[in-house]
Structure 1
């Protein structure tokens, strides 16, 4: 299969990850409402999703069309719900804040404060997200990535506002069957597959089957207009043929009648 161009783009390259890391500690540089605070995590996850999808398909190619997609997604969703249900603190500090004190005394207890996105509280829902510069940001980078659409990936101004990553080639993302408003979740549901490429070889098929003989039929589909034309043509031909036969019969009858008259006289 041919995978989505995101899986072969620079967004899953180590150069892009290094570029984001070189920008400094993004957690403290940007607000938690800015997707760039967890951008490194999101793009690392995108890389992992592509790799997992490709490895899964290669190992289970025979069962790909029936069992593999559901199997992978079931395991994937189980991991998501386990992380969300346990409200694990994200390393990118995008779901919980630690309420620290100026002076830490022995026996001090750290208290956490859930982050709110819009009207959604990470303390009650782990799927909270909100839009941020064309991408999404939320309680977990994974949920943010899955709910993001393709629009920002095809726009360097959106994905890299400073335009300092000069090697970024947006044109490498070719035409896709997916619309710009398609979410990463929807593409993942298809295991990041763009299309299946089927290589047909009738020669190999023939050699594998090794038949003693072969026969084939040509099938043609006639359209309504063609059928009508054929009927009219046939009808016209019959009319012309009938007229010709009528003239010949009349002349024969007339000739025989004249001969009988001559014999009688």
Structure 2
């Protein structure tokens, strides 16, 4: 934007702050729309997950040419703790609590869920287990990891809640805080010109040209009327001084 006058500090800061606020609101919305489009496209096209977590393939039969045909059967997730069930064919967010089992023990991981797709599994889970040292130690013991000592996450270092899902944090683009550096002095220095050149263009205006001509002509006429009498007098004086008298 080009302006012929320097903006005041107050107006500059107000415009910059409005621009920053609009940017901070628009970017998460654009990211969320893209993420939701990917999720809906995956669910709407009924794509098979790598670990068969949403559909099972079942052979329907063999024809005379020994060609097999298959049908897809949606996975039903049963949540025994809440006594609910859902189908991956109809519900994108169909999940059950994630279990971790060993030969002697089965553990429900706090905050973790298992969904129809890996993307949904990640987004609909939370990091609450990683804020608990006890939960981390139990998971490491079941996995046989050594040493069992670990460091849990510090909830005072984040603005998100311990039980917030990764989906909630993803919709905020995992941004903890925004920092902006606005300098009116730098703006003034960058906008301070060394010189200015401009061109004035105008269309031919016949009435204006006629008026200008008449004005000039009137000025010349007045000047002539004022100067001519003096020129005549000077000419007559010169003529009388150099007049030649005839000889007899």
Higher helix share: 1
Greater relative contact order structure (CA < 8 Å, 6+ sep): 1
Higher strand share: 2
Using structure 2 for the length normalisation, give the TM-score: 0.50
Using structure 1 for the length normalisation, give the TM-score: 0.47
Q: Highest Rg: 1 or 2?
A: 2
